[in-house]
Amino acid sequence: MSREPGLLDEETVNARANEKARKRKAARDRMLATKTIEKGLLIVHTGKGKGKSTAAFGLAARAVGNGLKVGVVQFVKGVWKTGEREVFARFPELVEIRAMGEGFTWETQDRARDIAAAEAAWEMSEAMMADPSNAMVILDELNIVLRYGYLDLDRVLSALTNRREDLHVVVTGRNARPELIEVADLVTEMTLVKHPFRAGVKAQIGIEF
C-alpha cells in the first residue's frame, strides 16, 4: 500500500477519517460519562473583545426559551437596548430587567453618584439572587464597577459564593478581578482580534458593537 497521501483513493480517505471520528466520539463519550455534578454555575465573560454582554443576553434568551426565569441587573446604563428589551417583552412572566439608572457610563462625570448607583444596583442583585423563582441572574458590567472600586469586593464575592446551589449567575465586563475568576466555574475571555472602528465604520442598529 502506498504511503503517499496524494495517491490514496477517496474510499480510503473516507474510511480513515471515519475511523478517526469513531475514536474521537468514544473518547468524548467516556469524558462526558465522568461529568455528573449538576449545580448552578458562576459564569464570567471578560476581556476587551466584543460579545461579553451579547453572549450573556444569548444565555438569558435561551433560558427563557427553556421556560426558566431570569433576572437582569445592568450596572452600566444603556448596554441592553431596544432589541434585547423587545425580545424579553415576549416573555413578560419570565424576565425582570433592571437598568440601575445613572450608573457608570461614558456620559457620567460624577463619581459620588456612580458609587450610589452601584450600591443600589448591588442591592437589587442580592434581591434577585435571593428570589427562589429565578433560575439565572445576569449581572451585566459588574466587572467595571468592581474595577473602579465602587463596591466592596469581599461583600460581592461572599454573596456570589454563598448563592443558592442551583442558581446560575453570569457576570460580564472587561477587567474581571482575579479574585472573581478564582471563584467562578466558567470563565471566557473575549479577545479583540479585529475591530471595524479601526476602519472608520459606525456603530449600527442590530449590531451596536
CB of 3: closest distance to a second copy in angstroms? 20
Does 50 engage in binding with a second copy (CB under 8 A)? yes
**Touching a second copy, residues 61-120 (CB under 8 A):** 61-68, 81-87, 90-91, 106-112
Instruction: Give the residue, chosen from 7, 9, 37, 154, that forms a contact with a second copy under the rule CB under 8 A.
Output: 37
Between 102 and 208, CB nearer to a second copy: 208
Residues 6+ apart with CB under 8 A from 121: 73, 74, 75, 98, 100, 103, 145
Of 8-16, 123-131, 137-145, 156-164, which segment contacts a second copy by CB under 8 A? 8-16
**Touching a second copy, residues 116-155 (CB under 8 A):** 135-136
**Residue 126 exposure: Cα atoms within 13 Å on the Cβ side:** 12
CA 61, 62, 66, 71 torsion: positive or negative? negative
Does 3 engage in binding with a second copy (CB under 8 A)? no
CB of 126: closest distance to a second copy in angstroms? 22
Instruction: Return d(Cα 45, Cα 51) in angstroms, integer.
Output: 8
Residue in the structure block whose three cell numbers are 421556560? 67
SS3 105: coil
Between 3 and 202, CB nearer to a second copy: 202
- Is residue 137 within 8 Å of 169, Cβ to Cβ? yes
The candidate with the shortest Cα–Cα distance to 53, out of 202, 169, 159, 209, is 209
Of 29-37, 71-79, 117-125, 153-161, which segment contacts a second copy by CB under 8 A? 29-37
Instruction: Return d(Cα 178, Cα 188) in angstroms, integer.
Output: 13
Instruction: Give the residue, chosen from 5, 6, 92, 206, that forms a contact with a second copy under the rule CB under 8 A.
Output: 206
Judged by CB under 8 A, the number of residues near a second copy is: 86
Does 51 engage in binding with a second copy (CB under 8 A)? yes
**Touching a second copy, residues 173-202 (CB under 8 A):** 181, 184-197, 199-202
Judged on CB neighbours under 10 Å (0-12, 13-18, 19+), 208 is: middle
Between 127 and 190, CB nearer to a second copy: 190
Residues 6+ apart with CB under 8 A from 31: none
